[in-house]
Amino acid sequence: MAASPINTGADVRRLHHAAAPRGALSSSAAYSLTRVGGVRAGYATMIWGSRDPSCMKFFCWLLVQRRIHTRDVLLRKCIVSAEVAGCPLCSTTPETADHMLFSCPFAVEFWRRVDVAASGITVCKLVALATAVVVESEVEFALLCCWQLWKHRNAVVFQQQQPSIARVLGCCREDAVLWR
């Protein structure tokens, strides 16, 4: 695969999807991005209406749209090869968002320890369950757990930390207390 040349000229990219006349940012145009075909996406209220920190909301928004950079996405974008597209925690190929959060043996053990039956759960099912749940704290806790599993995965990949369920549980506990 040939490398793309680096453009040394002026940045000519534009923010088309949320732009007003003359290229300025438009909050109404940005708001319309929460709608799919003119109909508000059901998960938009669940995510953006939660009391979670903005960084976690953004992660969840990317997660439900299958845009977080798990190795299957990186493989599709030709950033990694098929040989290294496996899960960094269990070496299952390929690492998908569903695998990372719900079916990786590490994630299964994590959910077992927080007393949640994650067998057969996918991101789509989580969104469907979360939008049907009346108790907001349960939705926020599920999103918090997904966020912490993602951060832990990144620490293993980028900082060469050893996988530790105790560390993830501790981070979830600390954040739940902070955000309460």
Structure tokens at 126: 């989580």
Structure tokens at 173: 């506990």
Rounded to 5°, angle at Cα 19 from 18 and 21: 155
This prediction's pTM: 0.72
Domain boundaries, the chain: 42-179
Q: Is the Cβ–Cβ distance between 82 and 88 less than 8 Å? A: no
Torsion of CA 89, 94, 99, 101, to 10 degrees: 60
- What are the tens digits of pLDDT across the range 17-39? 555 666 666 666 666 666 655 56
- What are the tens digits of pLDDT across the range 99-156? 999 899 999 999 989 887 767 677 776 666 655 554 556 777 888 899 999 999 999 9
Return the number of other C-beta atoms located less than 10 Å from residue 85's C-beta. Answer: 20
